[in-house]
Amino acid sequence: MRRRTFLKTAGAGSVVALAGCTGGDDQNGTTTTGDSEQTLTVATYSSFTGEDTAGNYLKSAFEDEHDDVTVEFAVPENGLNQYVLQKQQGSDVSADMYVGLNTAELVRAETQLDAELFLESRSDLDRADAINSDLEIDPEGRAVAYDTGYISLVYDEDEVDPPETFDDLLDPAYENALITQNAQQSDPGRAFLLWTIANRGANEYLDYWQGLDDNGVQILSDWEPAYNAYLDGEAPMVVSYSTDQVYYHGPDVDMSRHQVGFIEDQGYANPEAMARFADSDVADLALAFMEFVLQPEHQAEIAVRNVQFPAVEDADPGDEFSQYAYEPPETVTHTYEELQGNVDEWIDQWARQIVG
Amino acid sequence: MTADWNLSRAFQRVALPAAVAATIAVLVVVFYYPVGHVLAAAVRDGGRLTIKPIRAVLTDPFYTGVAHHLFVDPFGVPAGIADWIAAGFPSVRLGLFGFTAYQAALSTVASVLLGLPGAYVLARYEFRGRRTIRSLTLVPFVLPSILVAVGFRAMFSRRGFANDLLGVGGLGPIELLGTLQIIVIAHAFYNAPLVTRLVATAWEGVDRRQVESARSLGASRFRAFLDVVLPALLPAILTGAVLTFVFTLMSFPIVLTLGGLDLATVEVWIYARVQSLALQEAATLATLETFLSLSFIYVYLRFENRQVTTRGAGQSLSRERLSIGWRTLVDPRRLAIAGYAVVVAVVIVGPLVSLLVESVTDPSGQFTTAYYEFLLARQSSGAVGTVRPLPAVINSLVFGAGTLLLAIPMGTVVAIVATRGGRGSRLAEAILTAPLAVSGIVVGIGLLLTFVFGTTVAGHRLVVIGPVAIVFAHAAAAYPFVTRNVAPALGGLDPRLREVARSLGATRLRALVEIELPLVAPALLAGAAFAFAISIGEFDSTVLLAEGVESYTMPVALERYVGTRSLGPNLGPATAMGTVLLAVTGLSFVVIDRLGGRWEP
């Protein structure tokens, strides 16, 4: 969301608070019982729910369209691992579907479990063919992409010229110039590492990272600390998302520090996907929810509220979003098969080299 | 105390053993069972005992560095050392464990050096605000690492305040971020106040008459300090050092937010292994880490046991006035204190104040109240899944109070066992101190696999989550601090006091409650402050045991505000919540000290 809109919203909120109202009662999750009434429990990450989020938009829009349906969210601290562990322990998976999967997590769930955690969904979805084919992460049709981010560099144009190639980053001109994130725990950090693997190959990427390390790359824990270190002027470039300017634009903002750079004219796609749990009692309802999420108008809303690109070809998130969210000329990503059996090992070897 | 001591003597006799049994029962349920569930994987493979995973870690130079030779080829070690000496002592590879212990040792030294003068000033000088400052010492302890990173960047980055200050003096600039030094300083930020609090409490307990006797027998001030005061402080100093070492050995988020991956600790690896669900490897690393911490604690406790100094119910040393008019400016000791105050202002107060400033500053450097308005908007929002700040404040306070109610008795009975028991009681205490020494990540995953998912008891699936579970988990984490404060104080009491009471017919319990506990009230109070701080700051277990946004605490709410999609990587709302956290915690500490202070002798 844009800063100005945020300020407006926050201001309105405080007025409501002073007036002593509790607005939005209609959005309160009501637990009702009855034969025809159904509850859909959607597991997701915490920033997908709450005030002004894509999750809450979907909940109210879906409930409006389906009488007697309540959508509830679960936001386990461990993400998908929560349900993989539940399945491993032999207890029932306590949600109906998961929203916010990435390819590596899907691979991990598959590796860890003998039983099927997810149901196949793709072949039953009318809207599946509208999805951008670059974002089809699951050859078995269980996980279906609903939006995507592109990993890119954000740089300060007063300090550096954007590197054109991965080789450039090894150049003395970029000494101590880059902040990235730990691939063991951060989504963009992992995506950036995988991008270097796509570029250099699984046999050469460690040499490349030796070069980056020698050139003073800083690897911080996660996106927020890395980005804030960048804003504090610790380095002129940071690994981030190509939607950066959606947050930072307007007359008061110094745009020179929010330039988006695509190395090799590429961006690494990090699609977010949804899937139905095999243990769900309301699998049909979950399927209806997935179909709903893929509708063009909802895709546009998700894009704007989640600050990610729509997964389908025919959604229009509006001019303001399109003006400030950049799509890379070329998209890179790893397929499910490429990651299977490799991704954990790649990350582990990488981390050992950095520390060792 | 006007308790009715006509209670059945039989009841009084069983009360203490019953309290010990209850404490152990609580620990077994909320700590040993879930943690054991995870750690067992380190020595078990398909139902059989095995040392393979542990051996694999010990013999891997990545983990143990040069020490891996000890496990691969122990007989080749002497020859290896000879070669090393012959080669002129080249630097050796530390490995992940070696580096982790190394940074913990450095952090411990830094924390003790920074903390001790603070204890001296608080215990020996009188000045305005002394009591409040003493109450507030533990505030840094509750601050989430992401906010410490915000404060530290504001102070120590290239454009930070410390460099501006150095620039005025024609020095600098210094590059601290991303270095080992900044991690050590950040650890000192957290742990020096702990040393200060522990040592100040001990210092205030030094009997004035003993010092006066020494002086009247001709000892110099310095001699009296060495012979009387220092021995009384040593257990507290060492307790502070041991706690700091154990904490920094398990340091995790701050290392990667300020330092970067090349300064990774064992805990970073445990987290990564848990993330990729390689639980056996995580368990193995955590087991070794815990073993290291507990051995360290045990060695220390054995040492403490021999440092028996007897203390009676004496008066504490009188305080000098810090300000003595214009002579303050030429008095060497007071000037040194002023120099120390500058260091504290930069390392401890600076980052805290920066945080307050950040909470009212927008990215372009202008004043803004938007982040507090954000909190108000969240508070009045009815949208599902919205984390509201006020319930988080209330939950934190309620859980903190509940933790005090449980942790103080638990910690006290363990302290009694540790100081009175016979052989092996120190080993027992070391094992009972385990909640300090086990990775929070492992405790979390243990709770998840047992209570959160449910455990089968007598054919019923039992799920234990919610506020009560949170309070028990906090109490298990917090009670060792009560023990560590109370045990040295109890151990230092003159045993004759108790014996006199017993010979006059008091039961064991009555002697304890009427004679001994009042004498160690300052230590109990310090322990209470620590326990409260642990409860307020706890994150790992709280977030798993919370039933939903309604039982979130302040740190959990704060973490949720960090990851707000609509704001991007904007830490503004988190700094605003952090300020609320600091204010609420600071106020609570003052209240605890003022209320508790009534029972001080």
Mutation for A interface: B559, B566, B567, B575, most A CBs within 10 A? B566
Q: Give the per-residue pLDDT at B6.
A: 66
pLDDT at B95 over 70: yes
Chain B residue with Cα closest to A11: B373
Give the integer Cα–Cα distance in Å for B301 and B429.
Answer: 8
What pLDDT sits at residue B600?
61
**Contact partners, residue B19, CB within 8 Å, separation at least 6:** B409, B413
Q: Which is it for the CA torsion B43, B48, B53, B55, positive or negative?
A: positive
Most A-contacting residue of B92, B147, B158, B261 (CB-CB within 10 A), to test interface: B261
Strand A178-181 to A218-220 pairing = parallel
Number of Cβ pairs closer than 8 Å across A and B?
207
Output B53-59 pairs: Cβ under 8 A, ≥24 positions apart: B53/B280, B53/B281, B53/B283, B53/B284, B54/B284, B54/B287, B54/B288, B56/B284, B57/B281, B57/B284, B57/B285, B57/B288, B58/B288
A29, A240, A253 ranked by CB distance to B384: nearest? A29
The overall average pLDDT reported for chain B is 87
Joined tokens for residue B119: 């204890």
What gap in Å lies between CA B601 and CA B599, rounded to an integer? Answer: 6
Cross-strand pairs, B455: B462
Query: Does ipTM surpass 0.90 in this model?
Result: no
**Region at B365 (left for phi over 0; alpha for psi -120 to 50; beta for the rest):** left
Q: Give DSSP secondary structure letters for B277-326.
A: T-HHHHHHHHHHHHHHHHHHHHHHHHHHHH----B-SPPBPPPEES-BTB
How sure is the predictor about B385, in pLDDT bands with cuts at 50, 70 and 90?
confident
Spans of all domains in chain B: 16-45+94-597, 48-76
The alpha carbon of B325 is separated from its chain's Cα centroid by a whole number of angstroms, namely: 38
Which of B5-14, B65-74, B337-346 is most confident?
A: B337-346
In angstroms, how far apart are the furthest CA atoms of chain B? 78
Please identify among residues 66-125 of chain A the ones whose CB lies closer than 8 Å to any CB of chain B. 72-73, 75, 77-78, 81-82, 84-86, 89, 91, 108, 112
Query: Residue A4: what pLDDT?
Result: 36
What parts of chain A have a pLDDT lower than 70?
1-35
Whether residues B385 and A11 touch (CB distance < 8 A) is answered with no
Q: For residue B313, what pLDDT is reported?
A: 55
Distance set, CA B47 to CA B42, B50, B53, B273 (Å): 12, 9, 14, 22
Report strand pairing: B125-126 vs B320-321: parallel
Residues 254-313 of A with CB under 8 A from B: 254, 305-307
pLDDT at position B505 is: 84
Residue B490 and residue B444 in contact, taking contact as beta carbons nearer than 8 Å: no
Give the closest-approach CA distance of B353 to chain A in angstroms.
17
Contact between B581 and B537 under an 8 Å Cβ cutoff? The reply is no
Query: Which residue carries 């988990």 as its tokens?
Result: B473
Which residues of chain A have a CB within 8 Å of the CB of B253? Answer: 221
Q: Quick one: average pLDDT of B196-222? A: 88
B141-150, B340-349, B361-370, B422-431: range with lowest mean pLDDT: B422-431
Residue B3: its pLDDT value, please? 55
Residue contact B449–A22, C-beta within 8 A: no
Q: Which CATH architecture has domain B16-45+94-597?
A: Orthogonal Bundle (1.10)
Query: Mean of the pLDDT values across residues B236-253?
Result: 91
Tokens 């109210």 belong to residue? A60
pLDDT score of A105: 92
Contacts for A56 with CB less than 8 Å, ≥ 6 apart: A27, A49, A50, B383, B384, B385
Q: Is A25 left (phi over 0), alpha (psi -120 to 50) or beta?
A: alpha
Bridge partners of A38, per DSSP, are A69
Region of poorest pLDDT, from B4-13, B446-455, B492-501, B553-562:
B4-13
**Residue B568 falls in which region: left (phi positive, over 0), alpha (psi -120 to 50) or beta:** left
Nearest chain A residue (CA) to B368:
A7
Query: A294, A146 in Cβ contact below 8 A?
Result: yes
Distance of CA A62 to the CA centre of its chain: 22
User: Cα separation of A273 and A102, whole Å?
Assistant: 6
Amino acid at B129: G
Mean pLDDT of B87-113: 93
| pLDDT tens sequence across B555-571 | 999 988 887 777 767 78
Q: Which of B528, B539, B536 is nearest to B594 (CA)?
A: B528
pLDDT band at B7 (very low <50, low <70, confident <90, very high): low
Between A85 and B306, where is the model more confident? A85
Can you list the domains of chain A with their CATH numbers?
A: 36-148+270-323 (3.40.190.10), 149-269+329-348 (3.40.190.10)
Render the burial of A242-258: b for 16+ CB within 10 Å, e for the rest: bbbbbbbbeeebeeebb
Q: Which of A204-218, A337-351, B232-246, B321-335 has the lowest average pLDDT? A: B321-335
- Tens of pLDDT, residue by residue over B19-44, are 888 999 989 988 999 999 999 989 88
What is the structure's pLDDT at B353?
92
Q: Which of residues 121-140 of A touch B (CB under 8 A)?
A: none
- Report d(CA B149, CA B71) in Å as an integer: 38
pLDDT of the residue at B314? 65
pLDDT for A162 equals: 95
Distance CA A346, CA A190 (A): 10
Chain-chain contact of B177 with A229 (C-beta, under 8 angstroms): yes
For tokens 């330039």, the residue is A259
